[in-house]
A and B are shown apart, each in its own frame.
Chain A
Amino acid sequence: MKFGVVTFPGSNCDYDAYAAAKLIGQDVEFLWHQSDDLKDSDVVILPGGFSYGDYLRSGAIARFSPIMKSVIEFAATGGLVIGICNGFQVLVESGLLPGALMRNEHLRFSCKYVYIRVERNENAFTMACQPGDILKIPIAHKDGNYYNFQADLEEIKSKNQVLFRYCDRDGSITQESNPNGSMYNIAGITNERGNVVGMMPHPERAVEDILGSSDGLKVFQSVKKYIMERAGVEKA
């Protein structure tokens, strides 16, 4: 299987995402923002960073790049897409995921390890986890405050689209463990179909114990497992 990592001008976690894919033994290629070629990737990663300098709103300009046209088409046919941090911001701006990511409530850039609780595991990006698993993964953002209309928030909750929520070390969802003011402590969501995922924490920065945690590997291992199983079913 092959990962494709998009590089926008200002992306700065593309090499970390590339390294994470290599670490789990998979093929991976960079996808340039000016190209519309996804190079037959099975999974597209929109990495963290400051695409187009975060001008206008985080992710707003990247949405109109040539590569995003292909990513949007790929997602529409069920292709697997994960946006991390700035990538999540690009996905909400593109309309591939519901809601918006606003300025952190405290207005500060926040760079630290947080705990997130896995809410669902019937998703390609969480299937190697159990519901209730607590992952220690770092955040690094200023615009990560998830917002949606109350009715739409209720809808994504009822459709099981909330994948990750900020929690404390023991997995309790508390106000103190919410690093940015996100509604419902939301750290990551999926679209209704389940093939597009966005998360503010950086799993690619937590893939080896020497980095402080290897919990982020579970996200990459999940999608690997999902694609391997899908390929097995197709062969059978």
Chain B
Amino acid sequence: MSNRKATVYVRLKDGVLDPQGVTIQRAILNMGYDMVSSVKSGRFFELEIDAEDGDVEARINEICGKLLANPVIENFQVEFEK
């Protein structure tokens, strides 16, 4: 049994309006910092995986596409570590 960890990053696709990012960017401006011109919000997940067979990565990608990200508006990226 190998124990692996996957970190999944979910972010909005380019061109999709991110009102939270825009609001955070404005707040940073209001704080007096003027060097941050754009903020994009997103989410990340850490998955502990107990599995031996070889198609773990494919199945984790499936989980991301079906549940963790909504492919209509979001992209995801998975990083695996042993």
**Chain A residues packing against B (C-beta within 8 Å):** 56-57, 60, 64, 92-93, 99-100, 102-107, 147-149, 181
Taking a contact as CB atoms under 8 Å apart, the answer to whether A147 and B19 are in contact is no
Q: Which residues of B1-27 have CB atoms within 8 Å of chain A's CB atoms? A: 16-17, 19-20, 23
A60 to B68, CA, bound (A): 8
- 12 A-B pairs whose Cβ atoms sit less than 8 Å apart in the complex: A56-B68, A57-B70, A64-B67, A92-B72, A93-B70, A102-B17, A102-B73, A105-B17, A107-B19, A107-B20, A147-B72, A149-B72
Q: Specify which chain B residues have a CB less than 8 angstroms from the CB of A148 in the assembled complex.
A: 72
A147 to B17, CA, bound (A): 9
Nearest B residue (CB) for A149: B72
**Chain B residues packing against A (C-beta within 8 Å):** 16-17, 19-20, 23, 67-68, 70, 72-73
Q: How far is the CB of B56 from chain A (nearest CB, A)?
A: 20
Of B23, B68, B73, which contacts A100 at CB under 8 A? B73
Q: Specify which chain A residues have a CB less than 8 angstroms from the CB of B20 in the assembled complex.
A: 103, 107
The verdict on A147 contacting B73 (CB below 8 Å), with A103-B20, A105-B17, A106-B19 known, is yes
Q: Specify which chain A residues have a CB less than 8 angstroms from the CB of B23 in the assembled complex.
A: 107
Q: How far is the CB of B30 from chain A (nearest CB, A)?
A: 15
Q: Specify which chain B residues have a CB less than 8 angstroms from the CB of A92 in the assembled complex.
A: 72
Q: Give 8 new A-B contacts, CB below 8 A, not counting A57-B70, A100-B70, A103-B19.
A: A99-B72, A100-B72, A102-B17, A103-B20, A104-B19, A105-B17, A107-B19, A181-B19
B23, B72, B73, most chain A CB atoms within 10 A: B72
Q: Specify which chain A residues have a CB less than 8 angstroms from the CB of B19 in the assembled complex.
A: 102-107, 181
Of A105, A107, A147, A181, which contacts B16 at CB under 8 A? A147
A77 to B19, CA, bound (A): 38
A149 to B67, CA, bound (A): 20
Taking a contact as CB atoms under 8 Å apart, the answer to whether B72 and A60 are in contact is no
Q: Specify which chain B residues have a CB less than 8 angstroms from the CB of A103 in the assembled complex.
A: 19-20
Q: Specify which chain B residues have a CB less than 8 angstroms from the CB of A104 in the assembled complex.
A: 19
Taking a contact as CB atoms under 8 Å apart, the answer to whether A60 and B70 are in contact is yes
Q: How far is the CB of B40 from chain A (nearest CB, A)?
A: 14
A56, A92, A105, most chain B CB atoms within 10 A: A56
Nearest B residue (CB) for A61: B67
Q: How far is the CB of B44 from chain A (nearest CB, A)?
A: 12
When A and B form their complex, which 4 residue pairs have the shortest distance between CB atoms, in order from nearest? A100-B72, A100-B73, A105-B19, A107-B19
Nearest B residue (CB) for A59: B70
Nearest B residue (CB) for A183: B17
Q: How far is the CB of A144 from chain B (nearest CB, A)?
A: 13
Q: How far is the CB of A204 from chain B (nearest CB, A)?
A: 26
A64 to B19, CA, bound (A): 28
Q: Specify which chain B residues have a CB less than 8 angstroms from the CB of A102 in the assembled complex.
A: 16-17, 19, 73
